[in-house]
Structure 1
Amino acid sequence: MKLYNPGGRGSVMSYAGLLEKIEILSSTLRWASRLERADIEKLLRQSHALRDEVMQLSHKERFVQAATSDAEPVEQTPGERRQALLARSFVFEGTFGDNPKLLDALEVAEKAAPTDLPVLIDGESGTGKELMAKVIHANGSRADKPYISVNCGAIPDNLLESELFGHKKGAFTGASNDRKGKFESAHKGTIFLDEIGEMPLTGQVKLLRVLQSHEIQRVGSDEIIHVDARIVAATNKNLRKLIEEGTFREDLFYRLSVIHVTLPALRERKDEIPLLLAYYGDEAAEALKRRPIKMTPRLRDFLLNYAYPGNIRELRNLVYRLACLAGETADIGHLPEDIRPKAGVPQASLPETMASQAIAPSSLSDAKRAASDEAERAFLERGLTEVGGTVAELARRCDMNRSHLQMLLKKHGIHSKDFRKPRPPQGGAGA
Structure 2
Amino acid sequence: MKLYNVHKSSSGSLSYASLLEKIEFMRSSLRWAQKLEGPEVQKLLNQTNILREEVMQLSHKDRFLQASSEKGRKTRKSTAAERRQGLLDRDFVFEGVFGESPKLLESLEIAEKAAPTDLPVLIDGESGTGKELMAKVIHTNGGRSGQPYISVNCGAIPENLLESELFGHKKGAFTGASSDRKGKFESADGGTIFLDEIGELPLQGQVKLLRVLQSNELQRVGSDEVTHVDARVVAATNRNLLEMSKEGLFREDLYYRLSVINVTIPPLRERRDEIPLLFDYFTDEAAGNLKRRPLQFTPRLRTFLMNYQYPGNVRELRNLIFRMSCLAGDNADLQHLPDHIRPDVPVQNAVQSNIPLLERRLSEVKKEASSEAEKLYLEQGLMEAGGKVVALARKIDMNRSHVWTLLKKHGLKVEDYRKEEKKSV
- The answer, yes or no, to whether TM exceeds 0.5 is yes
Q: What is the CA–CA distance in structure 1 between the aligned matches of 2:104 and 2:152, rounded to whole Å? A: 24
Residues 108-257 of structure 1 aligned to structure 2 (within 5 Å): 108-257=110-259
User: Which blocks of at least 5 consecutive residues in structure 2 are unaligned?
Assistant: 1-70, 349-386, 389-415
Task: Determine if the alignment matches structure 1 residue 99 to structure 2 residue 108.
Answer: no
Structure 2 SS opposite 1:211 = helix
Aligned residues of 1:278 and 1:413 also touching (Cα < 8 A): no
Q: What is the CA–CA distance in structure 2 between the aligned matches of 1:243 and 1:73, rounded to whole Å? A: 39
Deviation of residue 327 (structure 1)? 2.4
Deviation of residue 241 (structure 1)? 1.6
Aligned residues of 1:214 and 1:226 also touching (Cα < 8 A): yes
Aligned residues of 1:145 and 1:189 also touching (Cα < 8 A): yes
Structure 2 SS opposite 1:303 = helix
Structure 2 SS opposite 1:106 = helix
Single out whichever of 337-346 and 179-188 deviates more from structure 2: 337-346
Q: What is the CA–CA distance in structure 1 between the aligned matches of 2:135 and 2:417, rounded to whole Å? A: 28
Q: State the match for 2:81 in structure 1.
A: 79
Change (3 A) 1:171 1:145: same
Q: What is the CA–CA distance in structure 2 between the aligned matches of 1:327 and 1:251, rounded to whole Å? A: 53
Q: State the match for 1:415 in structure 2.
A: 419
Deviation of residue 345 (structure 1)? 9.8
Deviation of residue 253 (structure 1)? 0.2
Q: What is the CA–CA distance in structure 1 between the aligned matches of 2:243 and 2:164, rounded to whole Å? A: 29
Q: State the match for 1:53 in structure 2.
A: none
Structure 1 SS opposite 2:151 = strand
User: Could you give the per-residue CA deviations for residues 353-393 of structure 1, whole angstroms, max 9, x where no partner exists?
Assistant: xxxxxxxxxxxxxxxxxxxxxxxxxxxxxxx99xxxxxxxx
Aligned residues of 1:282 and 1:292 also touching (Cα < 8 A): yes
Q: What is the CA–CA distance in structure 1 between the aligned matches of 2:255 and 2:185, rounded to whole Å? A: 19
Deviation of residue 81 (structure 1)? 0.8
Tell me the amino acid that sits aligned with residue 276 of structure 2: P
Change (3 A) 1:413 1:241: farther
Change (3 A) 1:93 1:73: farther
Aligned residues of 2:299 and 2:417 also touching (Cα < 8 A): no
Q: State the match for 2:343 in structure 1.
A: 341
Deviation of residue 244 (structure 1)? 1.7
Q: What is the CA–CA distance in structure 1 between the aligned matches of 2:421 and 2:105, rounded to whole Å? A: 32
Change (3 A) 1:94 1:414: farther
Q: Considering only aligned residues, what root-mean-square deviation do their CA atoms show, in Å?
A: 2.4
Runs (4+) off by over 6 Å: none
Aligned residues of 1:265 and 1:311 also touching (Cα < 8 A): yes
Single out whichever of 307-316 and 87-96 deviates more from structure 2: 87-96
Q: What is the CA–CA distance in structure 1 between the aligned matches of 2:129 and 2:74, rounded to whole Å? A: 32
Deviation of residue 329 (structure 1)? 1.1
Q: What is the CA–CA distance in structure 2 between the aligned matches of 1:335 and 1:176, rounded to whole Å? A: 49
Aligned residues of 2:282 and 2:322 also touching (Cα < 8 A): yes
Aligned residues of 1:119 and 1:231 also touching (Cα < 8 A): yes
Q: What is the CA–CA distance in structure 2 between the aligned matches of 1:209 and 1:195, rounded to whole Å? A: 19
Q: What is the CA–CA distance in structure 2 between the aligned matches of 1:233 and 1:119, rounded to whole Å? A: 6
Q: State the match for 1:278 in structure 2.
A: 280
Q: State the match for 2:28 in structure 1.
A: none
Residues 327-366 of structure 1 aligned to structure 2 (within 5 Å): 327-344=329-346
Q: What is the CA–CA distance in structure 2 between the aligned matches of 1:226 and 1:119, rounded to whole Å? A: 21
Q: What is the CA–CA distance in structure 2 between the aligned matches of 1:161 and 1:416, rounded to whole Å? A: 50
Q: What is the CA–CA distance in structure 2 between the aligned matches of 1:417 and 1:268, rounded to whole Å? A: 24
Aligned residues of 2:268 and 2:313 also touching (Cα < 8 A): yes
Q: How many residues are paired up? A: 288
Tell me the amino acid that sits aligned with residue 268 of structure 1: E
Tell me the amino acid that sits aligned with residue 192 of structure 1: F
User: Which blocks of at least 5 consecutive residues in structure 1 are unaligned?
Assistant: 1-68, 347-383, 386-411, 419-431
Report % sequence identity: 71
